[in-house]
Structure 1
Amino acid sequence: MSILANSQIAGAGYTASYAVMIAANSVLIGYLVRGVSPALLAFGSLLMATAVFRCLRWCSNGADSERLERLRAPGVFIDLLKLNVFTAITWLGLFYAVQYIRPSVNAMIVNSVGPLLMALMWRHLRPGSPTLIQEKIAAVGIVLSMSILVGASFMRSDQQSQAIGYIGVGILIALVCGALQTAIVLSNKRLLDSGLQITDVLSNRFLLTILVAGSLALLEPNIALQLRSNLWYMVVLAVSFVVLPAITLQLGLQRAEPVTVTIILFCIPLLTAALELIDPANGFDWRMFVGVCVGIVAATYGGLARTSIKKKPQLSEKASTPAN
């Protein structure tokens, strides 16, 4: 097996591990945001996580002047700025979307957008790495799986009685977050390809999100009381929902192509749906079962598509330059 194939398998493994962690945490975050300011949770957890990333960065290399100069390079700075903007919108959207639609439905929609965008727009998004036919087929299968699962989820929930406009707001937020999640994956990949270390990226990724979330949190009533009451929740979120998953995803992005990562990320809602399917309290649903099976086949087929590649294709000059 070639070195590239081994790298792709390792990248797929790290990304799958990230998906498992996020799927487990999605239940936690859906529980925590009820009755608690989403902005406060985002501010506290991301501030703690950023402090951890900064400490790790300092311990690994200290004040390395070469790394600091690389961070200030024009193309790198633009990608870091984009990453901050995309992350801020996506994180806050995540916290607010689950107040309109169920966390499982939100995850299904968010994680189905990326593979479709990469299949349709790879010439613009990742011109040096064409999307394989297997990955395009997988993208279609993922969209089909998402449609089946979302329909089945709504039929099983009490949201059928809610206003279409109310649910529509949640779906719209999820679609926007899905598109921006793809942009985050691509920006992350370009930054890692430019020579930055994982801690360089993560220690600078959430700065705008912290600023925006902190400003919104200050507008909440009884913010001091909420902060004291939910401090331990923030610690749990910082460690389990930010630090460990973020590092794992970066390791996956170092080794795998963005399209592979976006395909495997669909395992997040698949795991959640599978847990719902085997829960005796919910009862067995054939639609959920079919949706999960279609999604597993599609994600596996697309996620392993590059493991048989013998030689890495040459990137064009255009592809090697960070997008403006």
Structure 2
Amino acid sequence: MSTQAAPAAVVTNLRRGILPLAGYAVLTAAMDVYAGNRFEVINPASIAAVSFTLTMVFFAGVEWRRHGPPQRTTLLAHRNDLVAINITTALTWLSTFYALWYLEPAIVNVVGLALGPMIMTLTGPLLRRHSTVMATEVLVSVAIGVLLAALMWTSFSGRSGLGDVPTADAVLGLVFSLTCAVGSAVNIIYMKRLHDAGCEAGTVLATRFVLMSVVAWILVALEGQPELMAALLPGAVVAVIGVGLPIYVLQVGIRYTEPITTSLLISLSPLFAFAMQFADGRLRFSLYTLAGVVGVVVLVAVGVVARRSTVTAPVPSGADGTTGVPPARDHQASAERGGSSP
């Protein structure tokens, strides 16, 4: 690829990634609102067991039909990252489900996703050494962290959409939300690592939900009265709108964007969650929640625009008189050559 074509390729990749990542944000918001409502009557473990078992069977069946069983050599070659993504997937989703049991969906959504950029600035260079984080993205991430602290204050003070929340519930919801945020950010990095290593998307999707399914069924077994029949329909809905379809569009988006950009884009989800949650009669309008969510959305826009401006800006001319351009990222060049997503 010529140096003149490099900026165009980078911008094209960014455009290709924005639409699926926006779709992921909408679907995630819908899942949080729906699941939060269902958790009022059904234990999260039962819904998790049904939804992730269905998801695991679906993706494993698709991969088996297309390419046969995963090759042992492929699994061994990527075993460390595949194990890591199983752990982060289980950590993220179980934390999300239990956080929704205690807190307003929009707040769980904003903590779980919008905190990702701040975590990404700390963990990205450690887990994926050639990743880049801009100074503007660092500032945006810190500002998002301040807004998240303010949103958590609304929950503790009874100003959230759920009104008065017992202190113990608010604390548990905060702990689960923070755990979800850490797991989600690290999960994105491991997905990108698998893509960079050339691991096929089907292999990842067929194997990443194994631990989550096992843990969920263990939790169901520990329940005194499992609610599996009542969980069948909600579990199937969550499997489609909350796991299967979102994870597909997320991986398409990740193929074309840097992890920090991915994390910033999916942080738009709380705005959708705030709008959708009024279909749930338990929740009321909260000006504090709205202000925090809008603030996060504005900061997301700043981060994405800054990233776009950087990849399109020319660098100073070289000694030979040609116009310099920033080199395309390794994974972006790979995508242009038809590399597979994780």
Which bracket does the TM-score occupy, shorter chain normalised? 0.7 to 0.9
> Match of 2:328?
312
Kept after mapping to 1: 8 A contact 2:161/2:284: no
Partner residue of 2:340? none
Displacement of 1:169: 2.0
Consecutive unaligned residues of structure 2, counting only runs of 5 or more, are: 1-6, 312-325, 332-342
Alignment of 1:33-52 (within 5 A): 33-52=39-58
Q: Which residue does 1:89 correspond to in 2?
A: 91
- Equivalences for residues 147-166 of structure 1 within 5 A: 147-152=149-154, 154-157=158-161, 159-160=163-164, 162-163=166-167, 165-166=168-169
Please give the root-mean-square deviation of Cα atoms over the aligned residues, in Å. 2.6
Q: Which moved more, 1:252-261 or 1:112-121?
A: 112-121
Q: Where does residue 261 of structure 1 map in the other structure?
A: 262
Cα distance, 1:303 vs structure 2: 2.5
Partners of 1:161 and 1:43 lie apart in 2 by 27
1:152 Cα deviation from its structure 2 partner: 4.4
CA distance in 1, matches of 2:240, 2:308: 32
Cα deviation 1:85-124 (Å, max 9, x = unaligned): 1211222222222222222222221123211122244432
Counterpart selection for 1:180 from 183, 189, 192: 183
Corresponding position: 1:71 with 2:87: no
**What is the CA deviation profile of residues 30-59 of structure 1, one whole-angstrom value per residue up to 9, with x for unaligned ones?**
011223121111111111111111122123
Q: Which residue is 1:21 aligned to?
A: 27
Alignment of 1:1-324 (within 5 A): 2-63=8-69, 65=71, 68-73=72-77, 76-152=78-154, 154-157=158-161, 159-160=163-164, 162-163=166-167, 165-223=168-226, 226-275=227-276, 282=284, 285=287, 287-308=288-309, 309=311, 310-313=326-329
Instruction: Check whether the contact 2:55–2:243 (CA below 8 A) recurs between aligned residues.
Output: yes
Change (3 A) 1:252 1:19: same
Change (3 A) 1:276 1:87: closer
Partner of 2:3: none
| Residue pair 1:189, 1:253 contacting (<8 A) in 2 also | yes
Distance 2:299 2:110 in 1: 14
Q: Structure 1: how far apart are the matches of 2:278 and 2:56? A: 36
> Is 2:53–2:213's contact at 8 Å kept on the other side of the alignment?
yes
Per-residue CA distance 1:241-295 (angstroms, 9 max, x = gap):
111001011111111111111112211112223456999984572x444333322
One-letter amino acid of the structure 1 residue matched with residue 245 of structure 2: L
The aligned amino acid for 2:139 is: I
What one-letter code is carried by the residue in structure 2 that aligns with 1:89? L
C-alpha deviation, 1:215, in angstroms:
1.3
CA distance in 2 between counterparts of 1:93 and 1:134 reads 30
Q: Give the Cα–Cα distance (whole angstroms) in 1 for the partners of residues 179 and 84 of structure 2.
A: 15
- How far apart, in 2, do the equivalents of 1:83 and 1:270 lie? 27
Cα distance change, pair 4–162 in 1 and its aligned pair in 2 (3 A)? same
- Cα distance, 1:128–1:244 mapped onto 2, change above 3 Å: same
Q: 1:149 touches 1:288 (CA, 8 Å); kept in 2?
A: yes
Structure 1: runs of 5+ lacking an equivalent: 316-324
Greater helix fraction, Structure 1 or Structure 2 = 1
1:161 Cα offset (Å) = 5.6
C-alpha separation in 2, matches of 1:279 and 1:95: 17
TM-score by length of 2: 0.81
Q: Is the 8 A contact 2:18 2:265 kept in 1?
A: yes
Equivalenced residue count is 307
Which whole-Å CA distance do the structure 1 matches of 2:92 and 2:63 have between them? Answer: 25
SS of structure 1 residue aligned to 2:48: helix
Quote the residue 1:319 is aligned against. none
Change in 2 beyond 3 A, CA 1:72/1:279? closer
Q: Which moved more, 1:240-249 or 1:264-273?
A: 264-273
Structure 2 vs 1, CA of residues 151 and 255 (structure 1 numbering), >3 Å: closer, same or farther? same
1:36 is paired with a residue whose SS is coil
The 8 Å contact of residues 15 and 249 in structure 1, kept in 2 or not, is answered as yes
Rounded to whole Å, the distance in 2 between the matches of 1:300 and 1:78 is 35
Residue pair 1:97, 1:174 contacting (<8 A) in 2 also: yes
Deviates more, 1:244-253 or 1:36-45: 36-45
Shift of the 158–292 alpha-carbon distance from structure 1 to 2, 3 Å rule, reads closer
Counterpart amino acid of residue 327 in structure 2: K
Could you tell me how far 1:63 is from its partner in structure 2? 4.4
The equivalent residue for 1:320 is none
Q: Helix, strand or coil for the counterpart of 1:306?
A: helix
Distance 1:144 1:238, change over 3 A: same
Identity of aligned residues (%): 28
